[in-house]
A = this chain, B = another copy of it.
């Protein structure tokens, strides 16, 4: 394989730049040419493709977002769209493709691979909702962004004796909420993977209040529902002053943490290794601190789960 392409697709995640950098540098290390495709599959269809050099990835390892931009692309879900993409790849002589993104992005990679075009997926999403890897690129950064925000809210919560409901991202996954809740000592953590026992939430709040607790924090995963609605329910049920913060898009940005930079570097480099070894249709991941790879077909059918023991611990520590 003499030419490899790389693109980012779907929602952006901090660390994507570090993954791009690793793909580029690993290729150059192996004397393989490397091409950046801009705006994800949209740019692939349009031939928005440029050769990358070492200098192209200078000073980006620490940047949030993605230097190659990202976009959602309906056309690429069609057979015709995929064929246009392969045409462009052939035109540039690109023989293999690294796709950095989430499950939607992997579906595209799966389709290209099925058409005989070798792709490797790199899991990049803050939601940590991809099976086959313990962590996705961006999760650790988003998590730290969340706890820094909660730390700030806690200052004012303490000053005023209030209940705060904080809605965090994660799509259908509760990982961000669960980890953030444990890391910030939340009273209650509401995630899609666990039934919401409203009565239990209310009793914890009341118990804390009676014990003289100055503030209470409830973390709600967006997959469970609207933080604003939940806050109203809480206020009605407890009569405690309740404020809601929807953290929103600050969770997708920021300079990646060390963990995300290292993970992205390892996964990006591994993706190149797989392509050079003639592999296709695989997703790289990290499991038990070791680099692994799985069939994308399998990944897309497995369901995401949370760590039950951590959820249980969160209950025990928030007495």
Looking at the assembled complex, report how far the CB atom of A124 sits from the nearest CB atom of chain B, in whole angstroms: 11
Once the chains are docked, how many angstroms separate the CA of A309 from the CA of B154? Answer: 35
- Against B, the Cβ 8 Å flags (1 = close, 0 = not) of A218-240 are 00000000000000000000000
Q: Mark A148-184, 1 if CB is under 8 A from B, else 0.
A: 1101111111111100100000000000000110111
Q: Is the interface of A mostly helix, strand, loop or mixed?
A: helix
* A61 adjacent to B184 (CB under 8 Å): yes
The residue from B61, B164, B213, B252 contacting A185, defined by CB atoms under 8 A apart: B61
Query: A147 contacts the other chain (Cβ, under 8 Å)?
Result: yes
Query: Given A55-B212, A265-B313, is A164 in contact with B249 using a C-beta cutoff of 8 Å?
Result: yes
- The count of residues in chain A whose C-beta lies closer than 8 Å to any C-beta of chain B is 86
Does A282 have its Cβ within 8 Å of any Cβ on chain B?
no
- Could you say which of B22, B62, B159, B247 contacts A65, with CB atoms under 8 Å apart? B159
Q: Which residues of chain A from 76 to 110 have a CB within 8 Å of any chain B CB?
A: none
Q: With A246-B248, A317-B29 in contact, is A253–B12 under 8 Å at CB?
A: no
B62 touches A154 (CB 8 A): yes
Which of A187-195, A255-263, A296-304 makes up part of the contact surface? A255-263
Known: A25-B316, A65-B155. 13 other contacts (CB 8 A): A21-B185, A28-B319, A54-B319, A55-B212, A62-B154, A140-B259, A152-B251, A152-B253, A156-B253, A182-B265, A183-B261, A245-B248, A257-B257
What are 19 A-B pairs with beta-carbon distances under 8 A?
A: A12-B159, A28-B319, A55-B211, A65-B155, A144-B144, A144-B257, A148-B255, A149-B250, A151-B253, A152-B251, A153-B252, A156-B252, A179-B262, A180-B258, A182-B261, A182-B262, A184-B261, A246-B246, A291-B309
